[in-house]
Amino acid sequence: SIHYQPFTSKIVTMKFSLLAAAALCGSTVNAEIYFKEQFNDDAWKDRWTVSSDWKSKSELGEWTNTAGEFYADASDKGIQTSQDARFYGLSAAMTKAFNSSDKKDLVIQYSVKHEQKIDCGGAYIKLMPGGDSFEATKFGGDTPYAIMFGPDICGQNKRTHVIFHYDKKEDNLLIKKDVGCETDQLSHLYTLVLRPDNTFEVFVDNKSVRSGKLEDEFDFLPEKEIKDPEQSKPEDWVDVREIPDPEDVKPEGYDDILEEIPDPDAAKPDDWDDEDDGEWEAPMMDNPDFKGPWSPKMIPNPDYKGAWVHPMIANPEYSYDDSMHAVCKDGCTHVGFELWQVKSGTIFDDIIVTDSLEEAQKFAEETFFKKKEGEKEMFDEVEKKRREEQEAAMADEEDFDMDDMEDMQ
């Protein structure tokens, strides 16, 4: 298994070079990069470990290293799911552990490209604790995690997961209101920011799509107020808005009105023979005078007091938790993908875990946004060629059908 690796000299050198470029980098100078991956070298397989002990070999799909079917630069690769109806498990040790006790922002960012017109499959990333005890080959759906973030699509359900683990509830808390996700075949950038002031923000393609307080958007805390257990609705409380009019009386003979009557406009056919056909009877029709079962009209209830509202009191179990954001209180040391995809073909790329949104945005400019336009141009070309081939195939099929019809004549 992959073990937690100490902060390498290469990253230290990077940090010093950033410091040297303070004038250019501005607020990113002091940024810490805990993990960065672009998958542009064959050594990515050494940095990442397949979850070979999570599922059987026949259940696990193969990861391929590719730029995909359309791209801006063929040498700029990501990792792609390649087999339909498979589980995919893959994890890597971070360069440095992120610890919530440092009171820093936590930023997770990566790109997702659903080349396959995905119909059902996950594309989310996870951030996990574990350190040296993390068992990479066993990483799977039951492995404890701190954060689960990213798109998940299946049928009409299309959402971006934002899930935080909360130790005090020993549970993983889902965002209350769904965050949408992109569903086309192009690359999209997903960014999550978790701040030590207990707020969060989600970006898609560097545009903020959701932000707020953790206590408002997740079930971290109990309700501030609860129904007073000492109070209950009085027995004589009247909450019936209307009552039958006691002076309304059923008209005499109302129950004698039939639901159906013979059609007065019907006439016995001229060719009707009573001996052969039996005695003729007019067909039945709905009686326009029939009003259904009688019921008295309703009038406002003079004793009506309105809906009873249960008095609320302060919840004695409520207390604010300054540490809601501390999902990595014991240190987060690994990132990973643990997915099920019915239709494979998703490409993941340009992953960064840092404590600076500015650093993540800078990385996005160097990667995602640099190749976005070129990818779209090639995609349009590929789609145009595909449409032309389909139209040509349809024309050939029509010609073939015409030839068959001529031969039959």
Average pLDDT (147-168) is 96
pLDDT tens for residues 79-128? 999 999 999 999 999 999 999 999 999 999 999 999 999 999 999 999 99
pLDDT tens for residues 216-238? 999 999 999 999 999 999 999 99
* 15 has pLDDT over 60: no
* 380 has pLDDT over 60: yes
Higher pLDDT, 348 or 6: 348
Q: How far apart are CA 145 and CA 14, in angstroms?
A: 29
pLDDT tens for residues 177-189? 999 999 999 999 9
CB 339, CB 123: distance < 8 Å:
yes
* 21 has pLDDT over 70: no
pLDDT at 138: 98
CA atoms within 13 A on the CB side of 232: 4
In angstroms, the first-to-last Cα distance of the chain is 72
Distances (CA, A) of 325 to 3, 99, 148, 195, 359: 26, 11, 14, 7, 20
* 30 has pLDDT over 90: no
Residue 146 host element (H or E): none
Q: How far apart are CA 215 and CA 208, in angstroms?
A: 19
pLDDT band at 4 (very low <50, low <70, confident <90, very high): very low
pLDDT at 275: 86
- Indicate the burial class of 252 (C-beta count within 10 angstroms; 0-12, 13-18, 19 or more): exposed
pLDDT tens for residues 132-157? 999 999 999 999 999 999 999 999 99
Distances (CA, A) of 342 to 25, 93, 227: 43, 28, 46
CB 118, CB 345: distance < 8 Å:
yes
Average pLDDT (322-336) is 97
Residues pairing with 172 in the sheet: 165
pLDDT band at 400 (very low <50, low <70, confident <90, very high): low
pLDDT at 395: 77
pLDDT at 6: 41
pLDDT band at 391 (very low <50, low <70, confident <90, very high): confident
Average pLDDT (69-88) is 97
pLDDT at 405: 64
pLDDT tens for residues 238-253? 999 999 999 999 999 9
The whole-chain average pLDDT of the chain stands at 91
